Chains A and B, each alone.
Chain A
Amino acid sequence: MKDQQVKLEMASRRRFLKGISAALGGLVVGAWLPPMAPKSAAAEAVAQGKASLGDSLADGFGAFVRVGHDGRVALISPKAEMGQGIQTGIAMMVAEELEVGLDQIDIQEAPPNAELYTDALLQFQATGGSTSTRYTWEPLRRAGATARMLLVRAAASVWETDSNLCHARDGKVFGPTGQKISYGDLVDLAATYALPDDVILKRPEDFHLIGTPATRLDTPTKVNGQAKFTIDLDMPGMLITSARACPVYGGKVRQVDDKAARRVPGVRDIVILEDVVAVTATNTWACFQGLKALNIEWDYGANSKIDSAVVDQKLQDAIQRDGVVATEKGAIDASLQAASSKFEAVYEQPFLSRSPLEPMSCVVHVRDDGCDLWVGTQVPGFAQQTAAAVTGLKPEQVKVHNQWIGGAFGRRLDFDFITQAVRIASKVSYPVKLTWSREEDMTHDLYRPQYADRMTAAVNGEGFPVGWQHRIAGGSIFARYVGSLPASGVDPDAVEVAVDPIYKLDSLKVHFIREEPEVVPVSWWRGVGVLRSTFAIECFVDELAHNAGKDPLSYRKTLLAHKPRVLTALDLLASKVAWDSPVPRGRGRGLAVGEVFGSIVVTMVELSAIGEKGVRIERLVTVVDCGLVTNPTSVKAQMEGGTLFGLSAALFNEIDIKGGQVQQENFHAYRQLRISEAPPVEVHIVPSAEAPGGVGEAGTALIGPALLNAVNATFGDRVRRLPLVRSGYFIA
């Protein structure tokens, strides 16, 4: 059918790259280049004016948008759908500029292709870091606009009129005398034109779709059971597999007695790898039963000596040292010496699991001449590379069919489970669907590192900080993910926000003290480094305000006079919650503010005390300025869900290690917020025409400090370690 489709290739990367970098300014997270995904060669060529992106497409297909003879628009989404609604958002961008209805768009998942789909912010092909809207905003609209221009030109040519006299609407081009032709009838002609280099995007005031609440395109099948996630797939001849990896990270299989497992009805094969034993069977239950029946002797290795207390102690020691200096502005030592007072506090955050509700799952078929992967992944390129590495196939022989994701939160930025699935599939002749039990999933996650932050402020006579020293100790996600730290020796993720706090300070010194826990691998967790540093800073500033005897909101405003957008957000919050009126007895309010993922967020929590340690969340309000909004429904949903996701962890979650093994195996031990304890989240969006910001993690980053600040306001107890329940509090 290829030849019947016209492919209208869109993005003029030169402009969008310029646009993105202008829009994002300093918010781009350092220049880091994962070894597996070199910076997009096509983008470079485009930037140098040497080529258009379409030139590198052997089959001539458009990178993002194709229009068919039936007038339907295929949108190749460079971003995976994991519940954030991004594919609807992207469709809105394209539909807006291409002048089609959302119902004319069919979404396809982009295949791995670093040249085409590298995210300019992340610099590899991935969905994460709340960059999706920010990255796609320019190129996807440009893709739609380019296609529209070509189609209008084609129509004008048919009518022998000036294309300026024609306009497009609802999938048709209209001429000056009322003529109209549908897009489908124009594609053959339009495809013969060279790409225009004078694409003009709509002005925001002309948007009729962007900025309006749009119904998500992926939800209808999610309410009737028809939506398929990886775990739901079925292939001809496929068997189920499930695996058990050594309970201690780094440990190995010593020997396996599989006699009992082989007797379990339905069990086909036992696959023994260096560190993993897998069972294949005709159904999942048989796999689980087979795994349970295995008698595996492990060589636990060196990590089996490590308990949580060891990790705690190492961080406590580390935080007393100086580390690699991530930034130094002004003279903090002089500031501290001259200060009328000093204040120091240590904040601690635990290991966390991502635990999306769909356990790790991956369908693989390895053959001599190729490999197919059906998997919901945030990193299709890495999925392809790992399968190639395991099988010895060339990357182009590995096809990745990306799937809807049943929750990610960072989990599917890792591809350990894909590697494992391919390793298992390489040992058998049939396709397999790897499905982990919840226990395997929770104990073999990669964990948000445990961190300790020591902050020391030089405080002036009015009680405001002149500067501070911020020591950050913990493992490096960046180094684990990319392979090594940048030459600076600083993990850019761990110090993000900390090196550029929103508050006006004369001096600032930030140390990164790398202290690898070794015992578990560390990884991204919704909110990433932004959440990490925001937690410490927002608790600290709140303490400083408290010490100065000042209202925490007006105190922050004094330090934020140079940030008009932040002030606007703070003022909006103050008016929405009537900040100036006192709270009833037994109640307290806490807030936190941040410039995060290109957005500005202010979050307020109001608590009441039930007895000595009982906590009731009375109100949760968040104000977000995320620039120009594509789909307000999705922004609101992300702020609600992201905030509660963060609240759940801040209240309850901590991964403990004993004998090198993760102690939390399932949700009975890793408590999640339930509807009965989830307060409504009031979301207020600041109207804005600024460049779009990210919202997927913005709410998550602010709720932790807001909660602890509210605990202090309510109970007079300054808790400095998450989760809250660790200090004896409970949801009453």
Chain B
Amino acid sequence: MRKIIFGLLAYLLVCVDVMAVSSDKALVAEGEYLATAADCVACHTAPGEKPFAGGLAFELPFGTLYTPNITPDAETGIGDWTDDEFVRALQEGISREGEHYYPAFPYTSYTKMPREDILAIKAYLFSLEPVHQPARENDIGFPFNQRWGMYLWNFVFLDDKRFQPDLDQSEAWNRGAYLVNGPGHCGECHTPRNIFQATQSSELFAGADIGGWRAYNITSSDSHGIGQWSEDQLVSYFSEGYAEGHGVAGGPMAEVVEYSLRHLSESDLRAIATYLKATDPKAVGVPRPAVKPKLAGAPLNEDLGSKIFADACVSCHQWDGRGNQSPTATLSGLKTVSDPRASNLLGILLEGNPASSLPVNHRMPDFGAIYNDQELAALATFVLSHFGRLDTAIEPEQVGERRSLSLH
């Protein structure tokens, strides 16, 4: 009898163990998906270094921040963090040592995630190979290095609440709202910030500047936002980084597509589209070009801008801007060539679009090294005029300023 009981116990123990393992696997998989949706890897990886080992620099108005190592290395990573500590970091923006994070870490969005989702992410991170890589010291000047200031900031700006579904809305809308406002933290870039660097809820998704890039208005506005995009176009943009008539994702958005969005399920991408198309429209920012500009051939005048376009750009984009080379190279009708500040135009010229995991025709080389400010100003002026029908002269100083705005 005793034997039997022991046997039964042993059997049960084995079962429990097996169940634990399989549920661990499921948890890790779920955590991986959520970590992907939250795009942790994009910020917590330095160029050429190991994923999640941190060290990426953020050049912010008040100094330089370096992202920490979030691999399970006990000494330099988060290997000996407890569940509570991890949850507190993501929901309250408070480190294990009790210090406040700067809101470059999007805990104001992650706070919408429930404890179980956050712990799934933790389980995933803990399943990774530990990387021994000490964090780099931040380089933040006074008064911003006074982290106690963040108490006040959080008091005013941190809405420490989990996502609550709106039962009047569809399941897809709710799923989209959660992904967009929680892990996806879209508003961190697409919602303007106030002078305290907090996102303005009244202007949700109305577009903002980040590292010199314009994160465009993604409200449902027909004139300025994504109101005229079809759901399929949005899904195509998320999954392939390109939507016909709307161009290729560039700058930080290209990274979001590469590391995050394209790995999400189609139903989740459709949910995001559903939610975005139902947001409050805001008619601000760069308007969508109202009418597609007349297709133009090669220019007749011999200016520096058109010369450089002929040298380095026309091979893909073509003079008519239709990119008959490949539709992804279409320029006509894009906001990028219709923004009088030329923010993203200069951004893409200076930084290119490496997007190495995307098809060859999505990539663009960076031209910041071989052309100086005067040359790029002339090129941008030509592009705005030729494809955007804008009579705006971009000055070399604008290019110089844009160079200094690099996020990393």
Let me know if chains A and B touch directly in the complex, using CB atoms closer than 8 Å.
yes
B374's partner among A292, A613, A671, A674 (CB-CB below 8 A) is A613
Least CB distance from A157 to B in Å reads 65
| Residues of chain B within 8 A of A614, CB atoms compared | 304, 374
In the assembled complex, A628 has its CB within 8 A of some CB on chain B: no
B374 near A730 with CB under 8 A, answer: yes
Q: Residue of B at shortest CB range from A656?
A: B369
B365 near A666 with CB under 8 A, answer: yes
What is the CA–CA distance of A546 and B390 in the complex, to the nearest angstrom? Answer: 48
In the assembled complex, B84 has its CB within 8 A of some CB on chain A: no
A668 near B312 with CB under 8 A, answer: yes
6 A-B pairs with the lowest CB-CB distances in the bound complex, closest first: A668-B365, A671-B370, A669-B369, A674-B311, A730-B375, A730-B372
Q: Residue of B at shortest CB range from A670?
A: B370
Query: Contacts A292-B356, A666-B365, A674-B311; is A728 near B304 (CB within 8 Å)?
Result: no
Least CB distance from B298 to A in Å reads 12
Additional A-B contact list (7), CB under 8 Å, known A668-B369, A669-B369, A671-B370: A614-B304, A668-B312, A668-B370, A669-B366, A677-B311, A730-B372, A730-B374
| Residues of chain B within 8 A of A732, CB atoms compared | 304
What is the CA–CA distance of A725 and B371 in the complex, to the nearest angstrom? Answer: 9
CB-contacts of B291-331 with A (<8 A): 304, 307, 310-312
In the assembled complex, A581 has its CB within 8 A of some CB on chain B: no
- Report the interface size class on chain B: 10 to 19
| Residues of chain A within 8 A of B311, CB atoms compared | 674, 676-677
Least CB distance from B259 to A in Å reads 16
Give per-residue flags for A647-677: 1 if the beta carbon is below 8 A from chain B beta carbons, else 0: 0000010000000000110101111001011
| Residues of chain A within 8 A of B371, CB atoms compared | 730
In the assembled complex, B101 has its CB within 8 A of some CB on chain A: no
What is the CA–CA distance of A663 and B369 in the complex, to the nearest angstrom? Answer: 10
A676 near B307 with CB under 8 A, answer: yes
What is the CA–CA distance of A613 and B374 in the complex, to the nearest angstrom? Answer: 9
Question: What is the predominant secondary structure among interface residues of chain B facing chain A?
Answer: loop
A668 near B372 with CB under 8 A, answer: no
Q: Residue of A at shortest CB range from B366?
A: A668
What is the CA–CA distance of A199 and B283 in the complex, to the nearest angstrom? Answer: 92
| Residues of chain B within 8 A of A677, CB atoms compared | 307, 311
Least CB distance from B395 to A in Å reads 13
Least CB distance from A232 to B in Å reads 22
In the assembled complex, B367 has its CB within 8 A of some CB on chain A: yes
B310, B311, B365: most-surrounded residue (chain A CB, <10 A): B311
What is the CA–CA distance of A265 and B240 in the complex, to the nearest angstrom? Answer: 21
What is the CA–CA distance of A652 and B370 in the complex, to the nearest angstrom? Answer: 8
Least CB distance from B285 to A in Å reads 30
What is the CA–CA distance of A668 and B365 in the complex, to the nearest angstrom? Answer: 6
Give per-residue flags for B336-373: 1 if the beta carbon is below 8 A from chain A beta carbons, else 0: 00000000000000001000100000000111011110
What is the CA–CA distance of A664 and B371 in the complex, to the nearest angstrom? Answer: 14
Query: Contacts A292-B356, A674-B311, A676-B311; is A669 near B374 (CB within 8 Å)?
Result: no
Q: What are 28 A-to-B residue pairs whose CB atoms are below 8 Å?
A: A292-B356, A614-B304, A614-B374, A652-B370, A663-B369, A664-B369, A666-B365, A668-B312, A668-B352, A668-B365, A668-B366, A668-B369, A668-B370, A669-B366, A669-B370, A670-B370, A671-B370, A674-B311, A676-B307, A676-B310, A676-B311, A677-B307, A725-B370, A725-B372, A730-B371, A730-B372, A730-B374, A730-B375
Q: Residue of A at shortest CB range from B50?
A: A297
A728 near B372 with CB under 8 A, answer: yes
What is the CA–CA distance of A676 and B302 in the complex, to the nearest angstrom? Answer: 11
| Residues of chain A within 8 A of B365, CB atoms compared | 666, 668-669
What is the CA–CA distance of A730 and B373 in the complex, to the nearest angstrom? Answer: 10
What is the CA–CA distance of A670 and B365 in the complex, to the nearest angstrom? Answer: 12
Q: Residue of B at shortest CB range from A611?
A: B374
Q: Residue of B at shortest CB range from A671?
A: B370
Least CB distance from A112 to B in Å reads 39
What is the CA–CA distance of A492 and B132 in the complex, to the nearest angstrom? Answer: 49
What is the CA–CA distance of A602 and B82 in the complex, to the nearest angstrom? Answer: 77
| Residues of chain A within 8 A of B312, CB atoms compared | 668
What is the CA–CA distance of A677 and B312 in the complex, to the nearest angstrom? Answer: 13
| Residues of chain A within 8 A of B356, CB atoms compared | 292
Q: Residue of B at shortest CB range from A732?
A: B304
Least CB distance from B212 to A in Å reads 20
What is the CA–CA distance of A483 and B374 in the complex, to the nearest angstrom? Answer: 46
What is the CA–CA distance of A613 and B396 in the complex, to the nearest angstrom? Answer: 13
| Residues of chain B within 8 A of A668, CB atoms compared | 312, 352, 365-367, 369-370
What is the CA–CA distance of A669 and B356 in the complex, to the nearest angstrom? Answer: 17
What is the CA–CA distance of A663 and B304 in the complex, to the nearest angstrom? Answer: 27
Least CB distance from A729 to B in Å reads 9
What is the CA–CA distance of A663 and B366 in the complex, to the nearest angstrom? Answer: 12
| Residues of chain B within 8 A of A730, CB atoms compared | 371-372, 374-375
Least CB distance from A648 to B in Å reads 12
CB-contacts of A323-369 with B (<8 A): none
| Residues of chain B within 8 A of A292, CB atoms compared | 356
Give per-residue flags for A668-693: 1 if the beta carbon is below 8 A from chain B beta carbons, else 0: 11110010110000000000000000
What is the CA–CA distance of A728 and B371 in the complex, to the nearest angstrom? Answer: 10
Least CB distance from A453 to B in Å reads 26
What is the CA–CA distance of A305 and B352 in the complex, to the nearest angstrom? Answer: 27
Least CB distance from B320 to A in Å reads 20
| Residues of chain A within 8 A of B375, CB atoms compared | 730
What is the CA–CA distance of A668 and B352 in the complex, to the nearest angstrom? Answer: 10
Q: Residue of A at shortest CB range from B304?
A: A732
What is the CA–CA distance of A515 and B372 in the complex, to the nearest angstrom? Answer: 32
What is the CA–CA distance of A666 and B366 in the complex, to the nearest angstrom? Answer: 10
B310, B352, B370, B372: most-surrounded residue (chain A CB, <10 A): B370
Least CB distance from A411 to B in Å reads 21
Q: Residue of A at shortest CB range from B364?
A: A668
| Residues of chain A within 8 A of B304, CB atoms compared | 614, 732
Least CB distance from A269 to B in Å reads 23
What is the CA–CA distance of A666 and B369 in the complex, to the nearest angstrom? Answer: 11
What is the CA–CA distance of A253 and B341 in the complex, to the nearest angstrom? Answer: 46
Q: Residue of B at shortest CB range from A674?
A: B311
Least CB distance from A145 to B in Å reads 50
| Residues of chain A within 8 A of B310, CB atoms compared | 676
| Residues of chain B within 8 A of A728, CB atoms compared | 372
What is the CA–CA distance of A670 and B307 in the complex, to the nearest angstrom? Answer: 18
| Residues of chain B within 8 A of A671, CB atoms compared | 370
Least CB distance from B97 to A in Å reads 32
Least CB distance from B121 to A in Å reads 23
| Residues of chain B within 8 A of A666, CB atoms compared | 365
A292, A613, A671: most-surrounded residue (chain B CB, <10 A): A671
| Residues of chain B within 8 A of A725, CB atoms compared | 370, 372
| Residues of chain B within 8 A of A676, CB atoms compared | 307, 310-311
Least CB distance from A293 to B in Å reads 10
What is the CA–CA distance of A371 and B369 in the complex, to the nearest angstrom? Answer: 43
Q: Residue of B at shortest CB range from A729?
A: B372
Q: Residue of B at shortest CB range from A661?
A: B48
Q: Residue of A at shortest CB range from B310?
A: A676
What is the CA–CA distance of A265 and B120 in the complex, to the nearest angstrom? Answer: 34
Least CB distance from A541 to B in Å reads 30
Least CB distance from B117 to A in Å reads 28
What is the CA–CA distance of A732 and B304 in the complex, to the nearest angstrom? Answer: 6
A664, A668, A669, A674: most-surrounded residue (chain B CB, <10 A): A668
What is the CA–CA distance of A668 and B367 in the complex, to the nearest angstrom? Answer: 6
| Residues of chain A within 8 A of B367, CB atoms compared | 668
| Residues of chain A within 8 A of B307, CB atoms compared | 676-677
Q: Residue of A at shortest CB range from B370?
A: A671
Q: Residue of B at shortest CB range from A725?
A: B372
What is the CA–CA distance of A663 and B48 in the complex, to the nearest angstrom? Answer: 14
| Residues of chain B within 8 A of A674, CB atoms compared | 311
CB-contacts of A194-243 with B (<8 A): none
Least CB distance from A665 to B in Å reads 9
Give per-residue flags for B206-248: 1 if the beta carbon is below 8 A from chain A beta carbons, else 0: 0000000000000000000000000000000000000000000
Q: Residue of A at shortest CB range from B357?
A: A292
Q: Residue of A at shortest CB range from B356?
A: A292
Least CB distance from A564 to B in Å reads 44
What is the CA–CA distance of A198 and B372 in the complex, to the nearest angstrom? Answer: 65
Q: Residue of A at shortest CB range from B367?
A: A668
